[in-house]
Structure 1
Amino acid sequence: MLRDATEEDVNLMLSWRNQEINRMASRTHHVISADEHAHWWAAVRVDPARRVLIYLRDGLPCGVVTFFDLRFDAPRTGSWGFYLDADALAERGETLPAWIDVMRAAVDHAFDVLNLDRLDGEVLAHNTAVRQMNRRFRFVEGTGRAEVHDGREITVIPISLDRAARRRR
Structure 2
Amino acid sequence: MLRAATEDDVDTIRRLRNQQANRDVSITAHEITADEHAAWWAKTSVDPSRRVLIYTRDGATAGVVNFFDLDGTSGAWGFFLDADGLAERGETLPAWIEIMREATTYAFDELGLDVLTGEVLEHNTVVRQMNRRFRFTEGTPETRYADGREITVIPISLRRQDRRTQGKL
TM-score class, shorter-chain normalisation, is over 0.9
- Residue ranges of structure 2 left out of the alignment (5+ in a row): none
Aligned to 2:130: 133
| CA RMSD in angstroms, aligned pairs only | 0.5
Task: Tell me the SS of whatever aligns to 2:69.
Answer: strand
Shift of 1:60: 1.2
Q: Give the TM-score taking structure 2 as reference length.
A: 0.97
Aligned to 1:147: 144
Q: Could you tell me how far apart the structure 2 residues matched to 1:77 and 1:58 are?
A: 31
Displacement over 6 Å in runs of 4+: none
- Residue ranges of structure 1 left out of the alignment (5+ in a row): none
Aligned to 2:96: 99
Identity %: 66
Q: Give the TM-score taking structure 1 as reference length.
A: 0.97
Shift of 1:58: 1.3
Say yes or no: does 1:42 pair with 2:39.
Answer: no
Q: Could you tell me how far apart the structure 2 residues matched to 1:112 and 1:77 are?
A: 12
The number of aligned residues is 166
1:42-77 deviation per Cα after TM superposition (whole angstroms, max 9, x unaligned): 0001100000000011121111000000011xxx00
1:99-126 deviation per Cα after TM superposition (whole angstroms, max 9, x unaligned): 0100001000000100100000000001
Shift of 1:130: 0.3
Residue 37 of structure 1 aligns with an amino acid whose one-letter code is: H
Aligned to 1:84: 81
Task: Tell me the SS of whatever aligns to 1:78.
Answer: strand
Task: Tell me the SS of whatever aligns to 1:46.
Answer: coil
Aligned to 2:54: 54
Q: Could you tell me how far apart the structure 2 residues matched to 1:152 and 1:7 are?
A: 32
Task: Tell me the SS of whatever aligns to 1:156.
Answer: strand
